Amino acid sequence: MPHPVAAFVLPGKSDFNALTGFTDEFARCLNNLKIEPVCLDLTNWQQSYERINQTLNEYNAGRIVGAFSFSGVGMELGNDQPDGNIWQQVKIPAVTWMLDHPAYILKRHTFHVPTVSRLYTSLDFVDFKRDYVKSPGRTIHCRMGAMTQGKTALRREPKKGAVPLILLPKKMGSTDEFQHIWAQLPKRLESILQDAVDHYWGETKRWGSVVPSVLEAGRASGIELEHDHPLLCFFIAQIDQYFRFLKANLLVNEVLDLPVRVYGRELNYTSSDKTKAEWLPAINYNELMEEYRNALAVISMNPNVSDDCHDRNYSALGMGALPISDINPWWNINFPELEPYSYNFSGKSVTGAVEKVLDDPHAAAEVAWNVGERARSERPFEKAVEEVVEWAIMQRYFEFEFITHPVGFIRSDMSVAQALSLMK
């Protein structure tokens, strides 16, 4: 039987169907909160509008918590129509979880519709949007959490003498292509990019935002970038992506002689018959999550942030695998027991982390279980979804309810379940 309250869920297209996997997990958590998830196929606009109207007839806007997506998907629905944004028209809060730096696809972070809110996984992204993008609209910080797909994590029992399964899912790219493109730019622009690369790799700890390195390179070249948002975002997107590729190449090259199963694409720069690693084509998100459930450890690489980790680490924690990740301050503070299994893009730190798992799989399995149990208890993805729903309820209050009900709609001690019960 459908739940008395509903929410729209807006899947999106992405590499390996990751966004679809995220929205499926989000919908599962909504269902656990007794909120009926209504998925819209945004590849068919007419069908989406019909589904929205059908749901409005069944529930009315007052019993629809909100519209939810990842990476800005569906937030602009109707912006190009005479009547304007559909979520503003029907008075439904729309919340999107932005997973990447605002410098990428800047438009998704700047268009303003009062009912649309943007959540960011990293405070680095929140700070950048506040200090440089400065676009109107509500902005919230919300990290993800341990993702389980509704399945119980399995305690690993390594077999004596067997090589444990260690995964590395990775999309590759060539830094040479960046250098080729940069060489064709005006000399001053090329100089800023090269100086930013040198500063980040030589003057920082190789984690965290690239923004300070870009600004420093701009100042040294005599160009003030703080208030030139399009140019600043151009430099940031270039440098951020450059270092993602550079780090990924370093990571993959270091596992060549290790018994690691690598899933990815654009890996043809190396010869798989001369390595100990197993090279396989990329697989879709759900298939990869099944592999996570079987692996003892999963190697991942964080985005260039200082206060969060990659979603693959949250998935590893949810599925019971040991996350092998690069270090940043947030990772060190929240998962100190994983420090021996972490790396820092210097020396042979990746090799050291993987070899520690291979040398004592049973100790690694024990750490994986204890850390995963804590993560699944303290910060499951369900808790993150509950926070997002809570924000949508607050957004409804501030945007639509406050005018007619200025007091009493939400109390500071009210749970999400209590607030949902008031929606009529």
Q: What is the pLDDT of residue 408?
A: 43
User: Which token pair is 56?
Assistant: 């409005």
Mind listing the domains of the chain with CATH numbers? 5-145+380-421 (3.40.50), 166-378 (3.40.50.2000)
Q: What is the pLDDT of residue 398?
A: 81
- At 301, give phi and psi (nearest 5°): -135, 125
Q: What is the pLDDT of residue 414?
A: 56
Q: What is the pLDDT of residue 263?
A: 93
Q: What global pTM score does this model have?
A: 0.92
Q: What is the pLDDT of residue 333?
A: 97
Q: What is the pLDDT of residue 183?
A: 97
User: Which token pair is 163?
Assistant: 């090589």
Angstrom distance (rounded) from CA 354 to CA 201: 24
Taking a C-beta distance cutoff of 8 angstroms, is the pair 95, 38 a contact? no
pLDDT by residue for the chain (424 residues), tens digit each?
A: 689 999 999 998 887 789 999 999 999 999 999 999 999 999 898 899 999 999 999 998 889 999 999 999 999 998 988 889 999 999 999 999 999 999 999 999 999 999 999 999 999 999 999 999 988 889 999 999 999 999 999 999 999 999 999 999 988 889 999 999 999 999 999 999 999 999 999 999 999 999 999 999 999 999 999 989 889 999 999 999 999 999 999 999 999 999 999 998 765 545 556 689 999 999 999 999 999 999 999 999 999 999 999 999 999 999 999 999 999 999 999 999 999 999 999 999 999 999 999 999 999 999 999 999 999 999 999 999 999 999 999 998 887 765 444 444 444 455 666 666 666 5
Residues in the chain: 424
Q: What is the pLDDT of residue 411?
A: 45
Q: What is the pLDDT of residue 83?
A: 85
HSE-CB of 265 using CA atoms within 13 angstroms: 5
Q: Is 36 helix (H, G, I), strand (E, B) or coil?
A: strand
Q: How far apart, in Å, are the Cα atoms of 224 and each of 196, 216, 218, 228?
A: 14, 10, 6, 7
Q: What is the pLDDT of residue 332?
A: 95
Distance of CA 1 to the CA centre of its chain: 33
